[in-house]
Amino acid sequence: MTMRFSVGLLAAGLLLSPCAYSQDSGWAVVAKVGSVGIGADVHRELVPKTLNLRVGASFFRYTADIRDRGIDYEGKLKLGAVPVVLDVYPFRNWFRLGGGVFVNLNRLDGAGKPDQLGQITINGHSYPASALGQLEGKVEFKRASPYFGIGFGNPIKQDKHWGFYVDLGAMYHGRPDATLSVTNAIIPQLQVDLKQQELRFEDDARKYAFFPIVQLGVSYHF
């Protein structure tokens, strides 16, 4: 059973639990934009004015030129997350604490670009781009990322349909997994240099073990 399927079953079970259908419960949706893209959440009240469950998804992608350790890349950044979070309202008002798991879909792909001399420098050694073929880099993150944050606004209000929604927190994605490869790996020293370049990038990225979650949205309570 995959992790994504297990998280989905847990969320569905909570959404369909008997307490979720108590007399004072309700549904709400939130359209949002933030650091993991554009998306929406579904909120379900589990304990009136005290505990909600939210499940949703956000996605975004864009391209940008990236430079790392002397190598220029044409980068493609894919942002995305599927949150499964319990929100607690300790004062039974607009302030909340949230904790749960994000299915982390963030990923960075890059294609190496040669310099003006037609060379790519890897680990201090220059190689003709024609001899390498295509240099490809990929950075992936821990798929199941714990999340904690605070927020403002309870989408499930008994007296209002529309509201504003703010989410501030962080997910822990740990040390990223970086890989570098070329389509023509015929130079003995090249594999050593690629591995050293990967390790150096991972060391640089270790300080960014937490990914900030900042989201703004509009909620609607059915």
pLDDT digits (tens, 9 = 90+) for 25-74: 489 999 999 999 999 999 999 999 999 999 999 999 999 998 888 899 99
Does a structural domain hold residue 187? yes
User: Binning pLDDT at 50, 70 and 90, where does residue 205 land?
Assistant: confident
User: Binning pLDDT at 50, 70 and 90, where does residue 100 land?
Assistant: very high
pLDDT digits (tens, 9 = 90+) for 133-159: 899 989 899 899 999 999 999 999 877
pLDDT digits (tens, 9 = 90+) for 170-192: 999 988 888 888 988 677 889 89
C-alpha to C-alpha distance for 40 and 62, rounded to whole angstroms: 19
172: domain range? 26-221
Judge residue 141's burial from the number of C-beta atoms within 10 Å of its C-beta, 0-12 exposed, 13-18 middle, 19 or more buried.
Answer: buried
C-alpha to C-alpha distance for 191 and 20, rounded to whole angstroms: 56
Nearest CA to 27 out of 13, 39, 37, 41 is that of 41
Q: What is the CATH number of the domain that holds 212?
A: 2.40.160.170
CB 186 within 8 A of CB 129: no
State the pTM of this model: 0.82
CA 10, 156, 48, 16 torsion-angle sign: negative
Does a structural domain hold residue 33? yes
Does a structural domain hold residue 178? yes
Percent of the chain past pLDDT 90, that is, above it, reads: 61
Does a structural domain hold residue 195? yes
